[in-house]
Structure 1
């Protein structure tokens, strides 16, 4: 269980009027896989500023391994404001540290020892981090599992970034909103979601496609089977990081040798639990962690 699993990309603070919360899908993913006994790593960059130091302190408190380079750019933030109706609006600040993750010798050495890596589209909006992600994925061992959690945000993606990422991945994680965007990009609007997932599986020679649909359940597809799991009805505290915990739980169970339906069921249970907690990085229940002991 000492296999290295990396969350590669953005790390930032979500800034609310009254508080700030550590964020970034790759870091959430890395934290959850570490709870399952794997050697989880957050790989990103921060600024040489107070917010950057606070990120490093927070990761230390969570006992999460990290390779976080310090840059001359400010630490990433997302300004979150609420409209009169209470609807959140997000402003993802640009040209920040995680847009400029350098590919260093330390990064190369970590890549050579990595058993699985999860990355998205957001951290590829700037060429520096995009090139680092590409180099990292080219450096990992041939049997490394490469998960593209597409994670479309605002206007920070292009068809080319999505396509190039799919070509170098084994696993795609996508939600019901994101699959509509992909359908538009490829002119597949008339195709239903399940067939669209199979199209992506075949077109990009993927091993697995994961489709999450919120309260409507989730699917896992490969060339041999389709797994469906309903979403449990729970009292939701917030949904922040639920998708990242789903991905982490599925990957951890799959790498532990569980068949796809069992790994899928476990991912659903873990993400439902995270929805009942506040924040993206809650401590998981002992029952979830026992599976890996």
Structure 2
């Protein structure tokens, strides 16, 4: 297992909330939880040569999170989070920042050649530089027996039909939530109103190994050719839902790479995500009872 490198690739940023700033970005959340399950993970991104960038690198070191994060001549990414009168958050994701400019380096190409699984999303592909780097990294990975997970994560208007279409073609596992599936179906003109039908269409059209559909409190599904797994969402006392989806993906991928069945992986992913919802922040330490189901 120590030779199995799992990469989370894309945005590294600060969420600037009314009460202060918190480290954010799906790739780091994913890589951190993968490492908790005993696999060798990396977060790949870029930060600026500024105080915020150095704080991100310090944060990763404190968490013993292995990172290949380039320092580039752009400001470190921030997301301004403001609450309206009803307390509903509104996000302003700054553009032209460091993670929009992740360079493709010889070291990154070498990492790609030794990567067993990569998780990437749509947000870091909004700029041509990072989009090109993500695509080249995926193309440089071994052709056989690797997992390429597109955790779609639609944010604001930072995606196009072309980017989504290309990413569907590059991945062999797609993770999408019910709201995103409605958006994608509208964009691609898929008929019918049944969400499961849309999942079967995507699975077949893009020759996917698996499609993961999360539906919040209404449970989640894992579609594979000819089969579907459904697990109900546990009822828990929610502290916040930040990073819960990333922990789901991390637990699922770690389980599959460790030889667990899809059903076992799905169950552990749901329970891990539910636990993260009971904790503050995206990167809590997971209970040993969850980790022991992967770490042999």
Give the alignment's TM-score, normalised by structure 2: 0.98
Deviations 1:165-212 (A, max 9, x none): 010111000001100101101112524110101100000000000000
Q: Shift of the alpha carbon at 1:289?
A: 1.1
Runs of 4+ in structure 1 displaced over 6 angstroms? none
Which SS does the other structure have where 1:215 is aligned?
helix
Which residue of structure 2 aligns with residue 235 of structure 1? Answer: 237
Which residue of structure 1 aligns with residue 33 of structure 2? Answer: 32
Which SS does the other structure have where 1:283 is aligned?
coil
Partner of residue 190 from structure 1, selected from 189, 192, 196: 192
RMSD: 0.7
Which SS does the other structure have where 1:115 is aligned?
strand
Which residue of structure 2 aligns with residue 99 of structure 1? Answer: 100
Which residue of structure 1 aligns with residue 110 of structure 2? Answer: 109
Q: How does 1:1-293 map to 2 (within 5 A)?
A: 1-2=1-2, 3-142=4-143, 143-291=145-293, 292-293=295-296
Q: Give the Cα–Cα distance (whole angstroms) in 2 for the partners of residues 129 and 279 of structure 1.
A: 26
Contact 1:180 1:189 in 2 (8 A): no
Q: Give the Cα–Cα distance (whole angstroms) in 2 for the partners of residues 11 and 286 of structure 1.
A: 27
Which SS does the other structure have where 2:183 is aligned?
helix
Give the alignment's TM-score, normalised by structure 1: 0.99
Q: Give the Cα–Cα distance (whole angstroms) in 2 for the partners of residues 287 and 4 of structure 1.
A: 23
Q: Provide structure 1 residue ranges, at least 5 long, that are not aligned to the other structure.
A: none
Which SS does the other structure have where 1:73 is aligned?
coil
Deviations 1:13-65 (A, max 9, x none): 00012211111011110000000010110000000000000000000000000
Which SS does the other structure have where 1:85 is aligned?
coil
Q: Number of paired residues?
A: 293
Q: Provide structure 2 residue ranges, at least 5 long, that are not aligned to the other structure.
A: none
Which SS does the other structure have where 2:235 is aligned?
coil
Q: Give the Cα–Cα distance (whole angstroms) in 1 for the partners of residues 193 and 141 of structure 2.
A: 35
Q: Shift of the alpha carbon at 1:112?
A: 0.7
